[in-house]
Structure 1
C-alpha cells in the first residue's frame, strides 16, 4: 500500500535504498583518490584515526536516528536544531547546511566533467556538466523510488570496487606477491618499523579533519526518513548497520593497501587503488578507477540534489517569506519539485566560476569554509539531541541512544577537538576562522532583524 504524507510527499524508499544512500554518501572520491594522502600523514596510525572518528560518527547517527524515530515526518535532521535550540541556531544550521550541499554539488559536477574529459577531451566541460546535471535533475524530479534505485546502483558499483580491492589484496598477501619495487605483500608491511607519529604529532592531528570529512554524507539517513517506507522499522536497522559497514570498508581497504606494499612507498599524488591494481598486474587499473571515481562523484551529486531540495523545502515550510512560499510546492509524484529544481540550477554556477581563475579561487575558499561549517552543524545536532532527551518530547520506548549523558557530551567535545585541530594547519586556519565569522555574523544579523521588527522587545 502506498504511503503518502500530509504534505503530499511519498514514502517510497526501502531499507536497502536507505542503506545504499548512506553508504554511497560516505564513500566518495576521498577514499578512491585521497586515501594516499591520509596514509602518508600518519602511516598505519590512520587506522586508529578512522576507527575513532567512525565510532563518534556512529554516536551522532544514533542521536539523529533517535530524533527521527520520534518524528519521522521531518524532511531533514537539521529541523531538530530549529526545534530544540531555537530559530536563530536553526536558521543558521539549515541555511548553512543547504549552502554546503549546493557547493558540494558544484564541486562534484566539476569533478565529473574533469574525469570524463580524460576519455573525451574534445567535448567541452560545460556541455558534460549540463548533460549530467540535467539527467540527475530529471531523476530527482520524477519519483522518489527512481532516485532510490539510481543511488543504490551507483553505491553498489563503489562497494564492488572496494570489495574487489580487498579480495585482490588478500590474494596478494596470501601468496606473498612480489612487487615491482622488490618488496613482497604481507601483513608485516603494516607493522614494520612502526612509529605512531612518523611525521610528527601535528601531522597526526591534521589527519582528523581529513578523515572527519571523509565520513560526511552518512547523515543522509536523516534526510531520507520522511520518504522511507515504514521508517520506524527501517531507521534503527539502517543506523545500526551502516556505520560498521563503512568502518569495515574504510579500515579494511586501507589495511589491505598498506599490507600489499610498505606505506612509505604509497604515492600521495595518485590513487592507492590504482597503485594496488597495477601491482597486481592490471594495466587497465587507472581506467577502471577513473570510471569508479566518476560513479562516486555522480553518486555524491545525485545525493546533493536530493538533500539540498529537501532542505530548501523545509526552510520554505518554516518561513513566512513570499518568495520561499513558492518553494513549498509538491508535485503529483510527491516531489518538492520547485525546491529541487532551484537547488539544482544553482549548482550550474560551479562550472561558470571554475572558468575564471580569480572566481575559482574564491569558490574554493567558500567551499572550504562551508566544509568547516559542517562540523558546527554536527555539534549543534548533538546539543539539540541532548535538549531533546531533557524535553517533554522524549519518547521513552523509542530508538534510544545508550548512555547519552556520557556519550553525547563526549561527542560534542570530540567534534570541537576536530574543529580546533584545523587551527594547527595553515591550509585550514582561514576556512576555520571564516566558519566562525559566518556563525557570528549570521546570528548577529538575525538578532538585529528581530530588534528592528520589534524594537520594544528585549532580546
Structure 2
C-alpha cells in the first residue's frame, strides 16, 4: 500500500461529516431502501405507459430494474469505501476533483429542486379529490410546512416519516398483489373483461404491439421514462452518512433490491396487464384506481388517492433531506453559498434545507401561473437523474482501478462483474438520453411542444453552459480554499498531493 492520503485532503473529506448524528437505525434504513423509489411513477405514471406500450411494459420495468440493481451494487461498494452524507458529490471530489464535484452536486440539486416543485403541485391536485374547494396555494404551503418541520427536527425524524410513508406505500402494493393474484388465478370478471394470464397475449396487438399506433421499438423506447420511476433509489447513499451501522445495513439493503424490484414494481405491472386490456388504462388516472373501480371496490380507489398524497409528500421529504446535505458538501469547498454550511445542534444542515424550500415555493407559484412553461423545466430534471446515476458508475470504476493499482484498500462489498457491469450501466444511460430525444420528437406535431426533444437538444447545452459559467465564478474561491489542490485526491501511484513535511 502506498502512502496515505495527504492530511489536507483527509481533513477536507472528513470535515463533511462533522456535525452529523448517526441516528438512522436498521428499521428506518430497510424501509427507506424498500419504499424510497415507490412513488407516483408507479402509482400514477404507469397508466400512460401501459396504454402506449402494452403488456411488454413488464419487460421494460424488469430490464431497467436490473440496471437499478447494478447501480445499487456500485453505490454499495462506494458507501463501504467511505460513508458520507455528501455521497456522489464527495466521491466525485475524491476521484475526479473539485470541478466534477461542483457539476455533480448542482445537477443533483437541480433534479430534486424541480422534482419537489412538481410534487408540491401534484399534492395540490390530489387533495382536490377530497377537498375540491381547497385553494392550491394553501395546500402547497401546508404540505411544505409539514415536510420542512420534519426535516428540521432531526435525521431521525426524517427517517421516521419515511418509515411510515414506506409502510403505507408498500402496504398498498401488498394488498393489491394479494387481491390481484386472487382475481387473476380465479379468472374473475372485471367490468366485462375476464382476468387471467391469457390477457398477456390476447391483449389488443398481442404481448408486444407493433401495429397501428404502436411501434416495435415501443417497449425499448419507454425505458427512457421507466428509469425515472426508479429515481430516488440512490438516496440510500446519502442516508448512509447518518446510519448507525452503514457497513452492516447497506449491503443488506442493496442485496434485497433485486427482490424488491421484482415484487413491488414488476409484480404489480404484471398483474395489471393480466387483469385488464392495457387500452383501459388512461393517463392521469392511477391504474390501481381503475382496477379497483372495475372490481366495485371504489373505496380502495380512494385509499390509492390518499397513498398518492403520501408518495408525493415522501418525495418532498426526500428532496429536502438530500439537497440540504448535498448543498453543505458543496459549501464545504466554497462551491455553494457559505450560508449552506450552517447546522442545528441536532445535526441538521438547516440552511440548505430552507434554501431548497424557498425554491419550492417560488417554483410552485410559477407552475400555477404557467404550467406549460414549467413542464419543460421539469423534464430537465430527468437529465439530473441520468447524470447522478452516471456519476455513481464512474466513481465505482475509478475506485476499482485504484484498488487494482494498490493505491486504496478494497471495499468489503464489491460490485460483481466490475468494471463491465458499470460500463453496461453507463451505456444504458447514454441510450436513455437518445430515447428521450426520440420519444420527445414523436410526442407532438408542433415543434415547441416536443418537450423531451427540446430538453435534450437545447436543454443539455444550456445546462452545460450554466454549470461552466458557475464553475468559473467559484473557481478562485475553491482554489484559495484548497490551496490550489482542486484535482482528484488520488493518482494512479498514490495521493495526488503528498503531505508536506511539518515545520
Same fold (TM over 0.5): yes
Distance in 2 (CA, whole Å) between partners of 1:265 and 1:348 is: 36
Matched residue, 2:200:
190
- Are 2:150 and 1:139 aligned? yes
Matched residue, 2:492:
none
* Structure 1 SS opposite 2:222: helix
- Are 2:312 and 1:301 aligned? no
| Structure having the larger proportion of residues in helix | 1
Taking structure 1 as reference, are residues 185 and 92 closer, same or farther at Cα in structure 2, changes over 3 Å only?
same
* Structure 2 SS opposite 1:286: helix
Matched residue, 1:205:
220
Query: Contact conserved, 2:77 with 2:411, CA < 8 A, in 1?
Result: no
Query: Contact conserved, 1:305 with 1:343, CA < 8 A, in 2?
Result: yes
Runs of 5+ unmatched residues, structure 2: 1-14, 442-449, 488-503
Distance in 2 (CA, whole Å) between partners of 1:42 and 1:350 is: 32
Query: Contact conserved, 1:88 with 1:446, CA < 8 A, in 2?
Result: no
Matched residue, 2:461:
437
Taking structure 1 as reference, are residues 43 and 80 closer, same or farther at Cα in structure 2, changes over 3 Å only?
same
Query: Contact conserved, 2:200 with 2:273, CA < 8 A, in 1?
Result: yes
Deviations 1:5-63 (A, max 9, x none): 96111011122212222333311112111212111222121111111111111111111
Matched residue, 1:83:
94
Query: Residue 238 of structure 1: CA displacement?
Result: 1.1
Query: Residue 449 of structure 1: CA displacement?
Result: 5.3
- Are 2:243 and 1:228 aligned? yes
* Structure 1 SS opposite 2:223: helix
Query: Contact conserved, 1:179 with 1:279, CA < 8 A, in 2?
Result: yes
* Structure 2 SS opposite 1:77: helix
- Are 2:47 and 1:36 aligned? yes
Within 5 A, what are the aligned runs for 1:94-113? 94-113=105-124
Taking structure 1 as reference, are residues 7 and 171 closer, same or farther at Cα in structure 2, changes over 3 Å only?
same
- Are 2:163 and 1:152 aligned? yes
Matched residue, 1:423:
437
Matched residue, 2:498:
none
Query: Contact conserved, 1:92 with 1:442, CA < 8 A, in 2?
Result: no
Aligned counterpart in structure 2 of residue 124 of structure 1, from 126, 129, 135: 135
Query: Residue 406 of structure 1: CA displacement?
Result: 1.5
Distance in 2 (CA, whole Å) between partners of 1:5 and 1:333 is: 16
* Structure 1 SS opposite 2:208: coil
Distance in 2 (CA, whole Å) between partners of 1:364 and 1:356 is: 12
Matched residue, 2:357:
344
Q: Which moved more, 1:87-96 or 1:145-154?
A: 87-96
Distance in 2 (CA, whole Å) between partners of 1:89 and 1:112 is: 34
Query: Contact conserved, 2:81 with 2:410, CA < 8 A, in 1?
Result: no
Query: Residue 113 of structure 1: CA displacement?
Result: 1.4
Query: Residue 247 of structure 1: CA displacement?
Result: 2.8
Deviations 1:225-281 (A, max 9, x none): 110111111111111113420332111101111111233433345221011112222
Matched residue, 2:394:
383
Taking structure 1 as reference, are residues 139 and 373 closer, same or farther at Cα in structure 2, changes over 3 Å only?
closer
Distance in 2 (CA, whole Å) between partners of 1:297 and 1:450 is: 34
Distance in 2 (CA, whole Å) between partners of 1:407 and 1:355 is: 43
Matched residue, 2:229:
214
* TM-score, normalisation: structure 1: 0.91
Query: Contact conserved, 2:23 with 2:156, CA < 8 A, in 1?
Result: yes
Query: Residue 443 of structure 1: CA displacement?
Result: 5.4
Query: Residue 395 of structure 1: CA displacement?
Result: 3.0
Query: Contact conserved, 2:436 with 2:456, CA < 8 A, in 1?
Result: yes
Distance in 1 (CA, whole Å) between partners of 2:338 and 2:473 is: 20
Distance in 2 (CA, whole Å) between partners of 1:122 and 1:33 is: 23
Distance in 1 (CA, whole Å) between partners of 2:133 and 2:52 is: 37
Query: Contact conserved, 1:19 with 1:238, CA < 8 A, in 2?
Result: yes
Matched residue, 2:256:
241
Distance in 2 (CA, whole Å) between partners of 1:68 and 1:416 is: 24
For the aligned residue pairs, the C-alpha RMSD in angstroms reads 2.4
Taking structure 1 as reference, are residues 442 and 138 closer, same or farther at Cα in structure 2, changes over 3 Å only?
same
* Structure 2 SS opposite 1:355: helix
Deviations 1:311-350 (A, max 9, x none): 11111112166xx223212211111111212222221112
Matched residue, 2:26:
15
Taking structure 1 as reference, are residues 334 and 451 closer, same or farther at Cα in structure 2, changes over 3 Å only?
closer
Runs of 5+ unmatched residues, structure 1: none
